[in-house]
Every structure is written in structure tokens, then in C-alpha cells.
Structure 1
């Protein structure tokens, strides 16, 4: 069930955003290079707006299209820069002995886990292309062996499924396409679903939810999540109450919330574009 929800959310978001990006890209090439594309919705909308004498609306449309592309490039470039910069810092803080020990114990010596010298307990997966699990010495010292194992399995699920990249893509679409508010709901719900799936994976590996739950409670007690300026998937900063309820009673159905207003606004935006397309074509 949770896996199907995850796929539905991700595919829906990528489909909506992909169509919009493709249409905007064709429109930009028309505006800058003079490409004549017959079935570009945005180009046809712009033509219709000009024919109605509403030139100021056309300027707004152009601003939205070009700013969406520019903002996407800026956010993606900034993300890559911050990720590389922080990764270099992590390597300078790395505890070689603990890193070697945990990789030998849990990842077959593949060095997918990095332990860094930091007193604050942290556990997250980072990296868009080659995800890596990052743990702090504060976390290793705070948890017992079974709890640490549960956390590592949780983050291993995120790493194996490229969740940092997928979460970043949905976050990018939601932030640059603010005029389609359902994408923000997709982003929020997707993070919840991925955390539940990672929890379920850890439970299947450890045999019960006791150690995962106790690790989560230890991280929450007196410790606020560490905010990172780059895309990552953290063990303890997403949907804590939701996850605790799921851990206490895995059979309880916890339906995701789909805000009615954002959905209706998004439908109206897409419907308006399709209506303009049909009117111009006729």
C-alpha cells in the first residue's frame, strides 16, 4: 500500500511538472530562437492574450515562464554546490576508525556509511547521484547496538532508493511551480510515505519496532533536528507523530491528507490552460 502511494505521488508530480517544463521550454525556444511549434499551449495562450488586447497579462505570463526556468537552474546549481562543499567538510571531520568498523559490520566494506566527529546526534542520507549515509559520533555514543542497527537500516533504505534525489526533484518542482499548489502537497506527503517505508524496511531487518522506536524517541528527547542547507533525508525531522503512531500500531490506517483548496486551484490552472488551447485551435 505505502509503496503504491509512493509511486503514485512521485509519478503524478513528475508528470505534471514534466509536461509544464516541456511546454515552457518550447515556448522559450519560440521566443528566443523563433521556433514555430504548433501545439505549444503557452505559445497559443500568449497569442490569444495578445489578440484580446491584454498585453500586460502576456508580460506576466512571460515573467512566470522565464522565472520558472531561471529559478530551477539556480536552485539545482546551488544544491550541487552546497552538497559538494558540505561533503568535503564531512570528509575532514570523519572518524576513520568508526567509519571502517560500521562499514565492515553493516555494508560489507563498501564504505557507504560515514561517521563524522560531532557531538549532536545526526543520521541522514545525502548525495544526489551517489547517496551516502552520514552518522555523527554523538548518535553512535547515544544509541545502543540494536538501536544503531535500526537507524542504519532505515537510512540504507533511503540510500538504496535514491530518496535524496527523488525528494529534491519533488521539492524543486513544488518551489518553482508555486502556481500549481498541489505540488507542495505532493512534496509533503511524499516525505511522509518515504519515512514510513524506510521504517518498515528497518523493522523487517531487525525483527521488531522496539529498537527503531526507542532510537527515534532518544533523538527527539531534548534535541531539535539539525537544519541542513542541502537536500538530504534525515532520520528524525519528518512526520514524527505520524511515524510513532505507525510504529506503535502498524495495522492502524493513517490516511494522508490531500488539501482540497490546493487541489482545486491546481485543477483550475490546468483547466484554464487547456481551455485557451482549445479556443485558439478552433
Structure 2
């Protein structure tokens, strides 16, 4: 497997995932005002029906525009909640990672890596803007010189490609997007591609390519802390199968879903923007003020077709 081809696809896959995230976030932002405008108008309808015109409540729940706009508002609230929780998870994991790195007992430092004291064989690359390689002294004890060289070459590839920072962006996109079929598999394929790219770089940088596989097997059952922005050297059965030639890495499994999602998002935005799905009220604030003031016993202006663009309950 050629290193140049794998590096090209790993960079392309990252760019496509970022485009998916940007397209999704832009769509979410663009339609928020329109959807919440319609949602608030329908909420005024509902409040008016409950307080002022209780006999019209059954009619309201049979209206397609009410059901559509009210459901869209609830769905959009859920999607925006994912964005907020995604920011929180991201910040929490960055803080926890920073605390973990600060807790390490560094016993040796050189230009290529830092050695820390640990009872576990663990290696990782950490740092968003200035990534560094961290190696436990246990790894040095259990590894042969060729295996250690393979491990360090693998981690240097993570370092030069700023994979911890890229993982942060990819994880954030994973957090803010709703569930869709094969979501875990989709993002897992990206991370497998990243690891395979580093593996191939390592094998091409040593005279004993098999030493990488033996190193993977040695560290396979080792403990590794659960912090996301550390690019770990850890074994995956899928990686080993690819490295020994028992399984092929299909680049289309990553590229095609990305292109499909970008296309669907663009087509959906273009279609919804050209329809009258989103009702607009030019004086929505006044409508809401009339609803919550003490004299709200009179029907709010929204049910008057002359004042609002929305159809009245009686239509």
C-alpha cells in the first residue's frame, strides 16, 4: 500500500468531514430564525386556543401547518441542544486531557519524545497546537530497539499531521450531529484510516516492517487513559489484518458517505429555501407582547389575516 495514496485520502477525508460539519452547522444557523418564528407563532395560536378560545383547540391540532411548524420547532430545539452539549463535552475533555498531562511524572525529555514513569505500556501524542510524543518507561522496557523505533515513527506521523487537533474537530462534528445509521462506523472508519496512515509511514521508515506488528500486539492489552485528544499507539484487530494483508482498506467507505451527506444537506437547504414552508410574521414581537399583557383576553393580532402572514384558525 503506497504511503502517498493513504496520506492523500486521510487528508481528503478530514476535509470532507469538516465540510459536512460546516454545511450542517450553517444550515442549522440559517434556518433557526425562520423555524423559531413559525414555532413561536404556533405557540401563540396554542396559548390563545387554551386561554381565549378553548373550543378551537381540537381544530388547531388537525391543522397541518400547526403540526408541521410546532414539530419543526421541537426538532430544532433538540438539534441546538446537541450543539450546546457538544461544546460542553469538547471543553470538558480538553480540560481533563490537560489535567492528565500535568499529572504525568516526566523523567526524560529529548527532541523527539518525553518519557514518563508508569506501570503500563502506553504511548500517545498530545497537544493541539504543539503536539508532543509521550512514552512510558514501561514501553521502553518491554520493546526491542526495532519495535521502539516503529512506535516512535508511528507517533511522529501523528505529530506532524496534527492529529490530536484534527481529532478535536472530528469529535465535535460527531457530537453535534444527530444519530444516523452507521454513524459510529462512519467516524470509526476515519480513525482507522488515520492509524493505518501512521502505520504505513512507520513501516516505510524502518528496515524491519514486521516490528510494528509485534509492537502492536505487545501493547494491545495495555491500559490507556480515556482522554480523547491523545493519539494513542494501541492495537486494533482491523489494523493488524490490514497490515498483514488479510483485509483491504476501502477508501470509498469514507469518501462516498461524506459526499452523499454534503449533497443531501445542500439539496435540502436549496429546496427548503425555495418553498413557503416557513411562515414569516413582520411584527412577531408585538404579537407576543399582546399575548402576555393583562389585556390578552382579546385574540392576539396573529389570528387576523390583515395583520399577519399566517392564516387564521377559522380559515
The count of aligned residue pairs is 249
Q: Which residue of 1 aligns with 2:171?
A: 171
Most deviating of 50-59 and 162-171: 50-59
Distance (Å, rounded) in 2 between the aligned partners of 1:213 and 1:89: 30
Distance (Å, rounded) in 1 between the aligned partners of 2:119 and 2:196: 27
Do the aligned residues in 2 keep the contact of 1:124 with 1:233 (CA within 8 Å)?
yes
Distance (Å, rounded) in 1 between the aligned partners of 2:212 and 2:70: 56
Q: For residue 175 of structure 1, give the secondary structure of its aligned residue in structure 2.
A: helix
Do the aligned residues in 1 keep the contact of 2:127 with 2:165 (CA within 8 Å)?
yes
Do the aligned residues in 2 keep the contact of 1:44 with 1:280 (CA within 8 Å)?
no
Q: For residue 178 of structure 2, give the secondary structure of its aligned residue in structure 1.
A: coil
Most deviating of 14-23 and 133-142: 14-23
Q: Which residue of 2 aligns with 1:36?
A: none
Deviation at 1:70, TM superposition (A): 1.3
Unmatched segments (≥5 aa) in structure 2: 43-64, 279-315
1:18 to 13, 19, 22: 22
Q: Which residue of 2 aligns with 1:230?
A: 228
Of the two structures, which has the highest relative contact order with CA contacts closer than 8 Å and spacing of 6 or more?
A: 2
Q: Which one has the largest radius of gyration? A: 2
- How large is the RMSD of aligned CA atoms in angstroms? 3.2
- Does residue 275 (structure 1) correspond to residue 297 (structure 2)? The answer is no
Q: TM-score, normalised by structure 2?
A: 0.68
Q: For residue 129 of structure 1, give the secondary structure of its aligned residue in structure 2.
A: coil
Seen in structure 2, the aligned counterparts of structure 1 residues 272 and 42 have a Cα distance that, compared at 3 Å, is: farther
Unmatched segments (≥5 aa) in structure 1: 28-39, 104-109
Q: For residue 115 of structure 1, give the secondary structure of its aligned residue in structure 2.
A: strand
Do the aligned residues in 2 keep the contact of 1:164 with 1:232 (CA within 8 Å)?
yes
Q: TM-score, normalised by structure 1?
A: 0.75
